[in-house]
């Protein structure tokens, strides 16, 4: 930015030419000078931008990058510059570091403002495009619904009855219904637009009244409003703290409620299990009671039989030996007689079977003879 900075590399270059530096040092010096020139170019562009903002557009000087000169003119200017530097002409004073810092800060603020404006414009464009996309999606849904209704109401009828008058009537009726729906939608939107315009006028009038009231306010009113605002902020902070406490209490209560719900669920499951167990035990108890009653009846019957047998045993008298022997002999004789009669009965049955067989044979023979020689011939 200053002539001192620009002349320092020139003097170094002259000293290098006089001392005839090697190629490596010359390359390093050229690279260093290129870095310095790029930094100076950046500072110059920033200063020109800031200067153009301050100066009116009609009175602006052309930029260094916009000035077009030939090589001869550039060499002539360079020679003049070197001659002036050799002679020792007064050098121009450049910007100080504070001025450069202030310039950079202003440029940074301007850049932030531009970024903010660009971000606001981008957000506005994004909202606009999102609204367009949402509208397109809604329109697409309406179109899909209309296509579905058209297929359902018209195309099925046309496919079933091709070229019929009913299909044409269906199409015309569908078109009339669609037009009627659109007219109703248009009327609704018109009414909504009118109501929104009225609401907008009311809001503008309220805003205008607020602005007029705001212009009539004084410093005392603003101080009072600040005090009230501070009081309201304190109240809001207290309410927020109270809300946080209530949220914590609500969270604890919710945890307890969940714990009690889990306990209630476990108790309900246990109660259901116990009810089933009680039913099973009741059924088992009824079965045991019925078995007990049956056992009591069996016991009573057994006791009665036992008593009868005991009574018989008590009343029983043992006979004498000779009587027993005679009874035994009589019993043996009776058994022999029974066996003999059983044998006689078997023989009689066999004889009866023979007689019946002979009788049946004679009967069949007689019937055969009667069939051959009927009586009366």
86 Cβ contact list (under 8 Å, min separation 6): none
Give domain limits for the chain.
Answer: 3-95, 128-206, 220-313
pLDDT for position 162:
55
pLDDT for position 313:
82
- Rounded to whole angstroms, the Cα distance separating 353 from 347 reads 10
Characterize 260-299 residue by residue with b for buried, 16 or more Cβ atoms within 10 angstroms of its Cβ, and e for exposed: eeeeeeeeeeeeeeeeeeeeeeeeeeeeeeeeeeeeeeee
pLDDT for position 159:
64
pLDDT along the chain (377 residues), means of 10: 45 49 81 83 78 61 48 52 44 65 81 88 89 88 83 69 63 80 86 89 84 62 78 87 86 87 89 92 92 92 91 78 87 92 92 90 84 64
pTM: 0.32
- Rounded to whole angstroms, the Cα distance separating 100 from 103 reads 5
pLDDT for position 135:
86
- Rounded to whole angstroms, the Cα distance separating 171 from 158 reads 9
Identify the burial level of 48 via C-beta atoms within 10 angstroms of its C-beta, where 0-12 means exposed, 13-18 middle and 19 or more buried.
Answer: middle
């Amino acid at each position: 930015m200053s002539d001192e900075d620009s002349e320092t590399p020139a003097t170094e270059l002259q000293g290098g030419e006089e001392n005839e530096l090697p190629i490596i040092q010359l390359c390093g010096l050229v690279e260093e000078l290129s870095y310095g020139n790029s930094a100076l170019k950046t500072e110059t562009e920033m200063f020109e931008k800031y200067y153009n903002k301050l100066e009116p557009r009609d009175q602006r000087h052309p930029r260094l990058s916009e000035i077009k000169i030939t090589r001869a003119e550039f060499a002539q200017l360079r020679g003049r510059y070197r001659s002036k530097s050799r002679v020792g002409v007064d050098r121009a004073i450049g910007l100080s570091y504070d001025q450069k810092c202030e310039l950079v800060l202003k440029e940074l603020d301007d850049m932030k403002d531009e970024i903010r404006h660009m971000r606001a414009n981008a957000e506005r464009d994004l909202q606009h495009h999102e609204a367009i996309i949402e509208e397109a999606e809604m329109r697409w849904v309406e179109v899909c619904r209309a296509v579905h209704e058209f297929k359902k109401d018209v195309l099925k009828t046309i496919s079933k009855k091709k070229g019929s008058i009913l299909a044409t009537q269906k199409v015309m009726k569908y078109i009339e219904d669609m037009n009627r729906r659109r007219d109703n939608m248009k009327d609704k939107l018109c009414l909504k637009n009118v109501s929104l315009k009225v609401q907008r006028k009311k809001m503008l009038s309220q805003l205008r009244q607020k602005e007029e009231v705001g212009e009539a306010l004084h410093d005392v009113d603003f101080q009072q409003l600040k005090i009230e605002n501070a009081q309201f902020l304190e109240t809001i902070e207290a309410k927020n703290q109270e809300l946080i406490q209530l949220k914590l209490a609500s969270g604890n209560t919710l945890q307890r409620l969940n714990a009690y719900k889990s306990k209630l669920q476990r108790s309900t499951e246990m109660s259901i299990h116990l009810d089933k167990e009680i039913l099973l035990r009741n059924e088992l108890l009824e079965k045991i009671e019925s078995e007990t009653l049956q056992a009591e009846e069996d016991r009573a019957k057994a006791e009665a039989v036992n008593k009868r047998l005991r009574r018989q045993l008590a009343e029983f008298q043992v006979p004498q030996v000779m009587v027993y022997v005679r009874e035994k002999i009589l019993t043996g004789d009776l058994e022999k007689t029974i066996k003999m009669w059983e044998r006689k009965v078997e023989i009689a049955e066999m004889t009866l079977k023979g007689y019946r067989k002979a009788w049946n044979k004679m009967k069949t023979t007689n019937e055969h003879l009667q069939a051959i020689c009927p009586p009366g011939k």
